[in-house]
Amino acid sequence: MTHFPDAPRAERHPFPRTHHGDTVVDDFEWLRDKDDPAVRAYLDAENAFTQASTAHLADLRQSIFDEIKSRTLETDLSVPVRHGRYWYYSRTVEGKQYGIHCRIPISHDDDWTPPDLASDDAREEVLLDDNIEAEGTDFYSLGSFDVSTDGRLLAYSVDTTGDERYTLYIRDLETGSNRADVVPNTFPGATFSPDASVVFYPTVDDAWRPDTIWRHAVGTDASLDIAVFTEPDERFWVGVGLTRSGRFLVLDIASKITSEVRILDTLDLEGEFRVVWPRREGIEYQVEHAVIASEDRLLIVNNDGAEDFHVVDVPADSPRDETAWRTVIPSHPGRRIEEVDAFAGHLTVEYRRDGLTRVAIIRLLDGAAPFGPIEEIPFDEPLFQVGTGGNPEWTQHTVRLGYTSFVTPSTVYDFSVADGTMTLLKRQAVQGDYDPDDYRQERVWATADDGARIPISLVSRRVDESRMPRPTLLYGYGSYEASIDPGFSVPRLSLLDRGVVFAIAHVRGGGELGRAWYEQGKTLAKKNTFTDFVAAADELIDSGRTSSDLMVAQGGSAGGLLMGAVANMAPDRFAGILAQVPFVDALTSILDPDLPLTVIEWDEWGDPLHDAEVYAYMKSYSPYENVRDDIRYPPILAVTSLNDTRVLYVEPAKWTARLRQAEAPVLLLTEMTAGHGGVSGRYERWKEVAQEYAWVLDRMGLASVEPIKNI
């Protein structure tokens, strides 16, 4: 049966394109013009059809929304972070969509214990209320948020359309009023100089690439701003930040495979940024300032001769003098070093080992051997993720950690460097009768066709193990070396409590198992990402954990490409496919250097415009080009946003239109006032999740199942 909505279909000429002697006729390229009334009418009609097709799930959607809301402590506080003379935190209020950013003064200089914000004498100062800023808008996103070191000024930026073009404002925190400084069309990442006289901020080019860093003198008109750096190579992004020490401003210039860092001494804000290491193709590095034995040094995490990276420290005034280099952390296969941070008396190191994130401490010592051993902070759950965050102070003697797992809600600790003790500061409240012991997390392994072992992380309610197969939601991503780590989710409980197993397939193209894992799932090895996901599905089916009529696949953005590819490759494995902002017209997008971010992407996917081999390879897997008329597709729900600048709405619009030609049971839902991250506001986001989860449960035959404790 064909599932065409009653949508207006304006007559359009097919769009032909020819590359490397190959001509493709695109019947649905006309959908690219979002200002065309016929395109808007088409998307509106698709939305109406999706809503009508899922109308029977209205009660389930409401139930899931109510469950999320009832489990969430709606009026809540973050853990305060000390910076300068204040403790900074944010809070939420029941009934309000957005957060409120606040601070209170510190009691005395040696006070490092976060205050009790519920006490009557807490002197709260509201810096920014996002609910007020969002009034009168259908979409709101906060971009930059930086308070000057002296605490007098706030630089913040907002986007009210979803297109990631932010307007930058400067607020006088002593008066609570915005100053005359207004800078339109910026990108997130504005940074004050230590003396608050200057704000450095990035802007984007026509392809939405952050390419220029500007210097804005506080109190002057934006027309007087000076571009301090512009990157002409379209493969590279730029960003700006301040070292924790406050000594250097840092320009990070990076493509997918190559980087360059430039630094500026903050004692000379009008000076020239100087290159730390000149860029070399394939060499990535990042820089942090440290003071070691009273000497200014730069810690450099890099992959020069070290696939999983190592760390060296070099003189800050002569970083290219190899005779003065010292190895801080040597390269070790299987230990992928991701970041090093420096404090006055210690370093923190973040890395991956055995597919999990880790944090370690290195003490700074006096004498000829200035670095202590790597002291990894232990955790006892089989699956977890941990990282540093909320550590802005140079002299602090604790390390703030964020920790979570599939069963442990988001948790904040302070780790004492002096004695190794861990202080629990806050654990995300889960309202109701949530008990982590009711749930089980584990890791199993699938074997790919080439012998690679694919880790799969699972979480479910504890049940009689003989009650198999079980409904399963299998999630995958597998691009950009991004790792999908096990973490807690309140909305996910609505699935788990209805008997669903949630699984993550850690496919190649991600970074879970080190740099080689990423390299084996990109460019001309990209198909490994797709076959790994199918292998994970097969393992779950063959082991009896689930069955094809009970398993739904989920992925978003580049993970949406994965969804489109497996729909064509293995449609019989799944009862449904949820594709969120899916990158499914990959070949068309990567062929067009005028589209946002395309040239940057060539290091990830290859360059099909100039390389015939890459063109043929991408054409062989790009979902839109490979929709088949001879197979039976599972039901597919594609969700997109009209103002998305990263994966244009036209990709899922064209893909679903082509799937309809193949008589696939497909639904398209377009958010008409949102960007790549979907709707804004927590309640609207809960509604969006409830809609997606209701559809997932329906595909598993669980639409009428009530959440119960003993399944």
- 557, 589, 622, 641: the catalytic one is 557
- 146, 163, 644, 698: the catalytic one is 644
Give CA–CA dist 387/348, Å, rounded.
10
- 287 in the Ramachandran plot: left (φ > 0), alpha (ψ -120 to 50) or beta? beta
**Which pair of tokens denotes residue 13?**
């000429």
* DSSP-assigned letter for residue 466: T
Residues with Cβ within 8 Å of 65's Cβ and at least 6 positions away in sequence, in order, are 686, 687, 690
The residue type at 204:
V
Pairing assessment for the beta strands 22-26 and 551-556 based on DSSP bridges: unpaired
Name the 3-class secondary structure at 164.
Answer: coil
**Which pair of tokens denotes residue 679?**
């709707």
Give CA–CA dist 560/557, Å, rounded.
5
Judge contact between 454 and 447, C-beta under 8 A: yes
Judge contact between 300 and 313, C-beta under 8 A: yes
Q: Is-catalytic flag, 644?
A: yes
Give CA–CA dist 212/194, Å, rounded.
21
Residue 6's CB is within 10 A of a number of other CB atoms, namely: 8
Q: Is-catalytic flag, 557?
A: yes
Residue with tokens 């460097």: 417
Judge contact between 280 and 297, C-beta under 8 A: no
Give the 3-state secondary structure of 502-569. EEEECCECECCCCHHHHHCCCHHHCHHHHHHHHHHHHHHHHCCCCCCCCEEEEEECHHHHHHHHHHHH
Element spanning 605, H or E: helix 598-605
Name the 3-class secondary structure at 459.
Answer: strand
- Helices then strands, counting H and E runs in the chain, come out as 12, 39
Name the 3-class secondary structure at 472.
Answer: strand
User: Dihedrals φ, ψ of 192, to 5°?
Assistant: -75, 150
User: 638: buried, middle or exposed (CB in 10 Å: 19+, 13-18, 0-12)?
Assistant: buried
State how far the alpha carbon of 524 is from the alpha carbons of 333, 616, 624, 687, in Å: 24, 10, 19, 39
Q: Is-catalytic flag, 676?
A: yes
- 289, 310, 346, 676: the catalytic one is 676
Element spanning 686, H or E: helix 682-699
Nearest to 492 by CA among 500, 482, 484: 500
* DSSP-assigned letter for residue 678: B
**Which residues are annotated as catalytic?**
557, 644, 676
